[in-house]
Amino acid sequence: MNACRIVPTATHEEWLAARRRGVSASEIAPILGLSPRETGKWASAFDLYLRKTGQIPDEVEETDAMAFGKFAEPFIADRFRARFPDFYVVGDGQTLYQSADRPWQLATPDRLVYEGCGHPDSECDCGEKATILAVLQCKTAARLGDGWGEEGSGEVPVHYRAQVLQECDVTGAGTAFLALWLTQGFRLLVYEITIGEDELADMKLMREAAVEFRARVDNNDPPDVDSLPATTRALKTLHPSVEDAHAVVGPGLARQWRAACERVELAKDRKRLVENRLRASMGSARRAVVVRNGRVAEEIARRDVSDVPAKVIRQEDVGKVARKAFTLDRLVQVGGKDEA
């Protein structure tokens, strides 16, 4: 017997309203403080609190990366089906599921993987019960790194792990598959997390954190402000305009602000020093690499040089401004292993 039910949502507005009342699988990572430092898709606990309490709009503006992920999802699911033809893979990534035991606990798996007769319960009339074997999440990345391990393992980025664990908790699935499409190399990697004792313990902690967060929402008790870009974005949205007034802040916060600004300047100076040393070591080379055991093990920086042509720019306050041609010379940090 599946431990979940479909939340009836006829419109997108009803879908959003249902999510607002509960905690979805994509929201558990921000609540746990596990969101990656991205400005687009992933929220923070503070940002999520403002959305749940209606202080800022519930939807985040879709980025190009988010749009591409949504576009690629059906393709990745089809490639997963081709890899595992014995699985019955269904869904459209839009169905909202609700735990039968905890109505506030929600999940929207990209797909569900069934076993048994090959038909979901709602479609089966052959008399043989079908059960949910696994949830499937479809992801994209340019290259490996950022928490992705060897294919077939359960080593995935921690925020994705939290997401699929809640999806399993909601649906009763004993396995989570993550199908990762690498855009660099055009290949599909499949990761598998089997629900065991460690996963069950993590699910318990996740439920406790979600219940605590919901209590904050009910009691108008916001979480602490953090350093995530999503929190910055939320605060800007909450206060979009500026009034000719002053706000009184404590001396402790004032000292923290001044000290942080000083550390930033020191860090900028340190970065310029290390960048100059790196440029001196690179000479005219495009890439800076680390060699181990006689082989290139890692690329750490790339020098990009390009000519930017002259351009006439129209500005409202000063009219037309001529921008001279110049050469853009940047030293860019590179992460991950060199695949060249």
Residue 128, CA distances (Å) to 16, 124, 303, 329 in order: 35, 8, 62, 66
List per-residue pLDDT tens for the chain, 340 residues long: 445 666 766 576 776 777 788 899 999 999 999 988 765 567 899 999 999 999 998 877 777 877 888 899 999 999 999 999 989 999 988 888 999 899 999 999 999 999 755 555 555 555 445 678 999 999 999 888 778 999 999 999 999 999 999 999 999 999 999 999 998 889 999 999 999 999 999 999 999 999 999 999 999 999 999 998 889 989 999 999 989 999 999 999 999 999 999 999 999 999 999 999 999 999 999 999 999 998 988 889 999 988 888 876 665 555 566 778 888 888 888 874 433 3
pLDDT of the residue at 115: 76
pLDDT of the residue at 125: 54
- Alpha-carbon span 43 to 229, nearest angstrom: 8
Q: What is the pTM of this model?
A: 0.77
Buried b / exposed e along 187-223 (16+ C-beta atoms within 10 A): ebbebebebeeebeebbeebbebbeebbebbeeeeeb
Classify residue 232 as exposed, middle or buried by CB count within 10 Å of its CB (0-12, 13-18, 19+). Answer: middle
* 120 closest CA partner among 92, 156, 157, 158: 92
Tokens 């690498």 found at: 182
* 138 closest CA partner among 104, 96, 185, 89: 89
pLDDT of the residue at 42: 75
Q: What φ, ψ does residue 48 adopt, rounded to 5°? A: -65, -40
DSSP 121-167: GGG--SS---EEEEEEEEEEESSS-TT--STTSS---HHHHHHHHHH
Which distant-in-sequence residues (6+ apart) come within 8 Å of 207 by Cβ?
A: 102, 105, 169
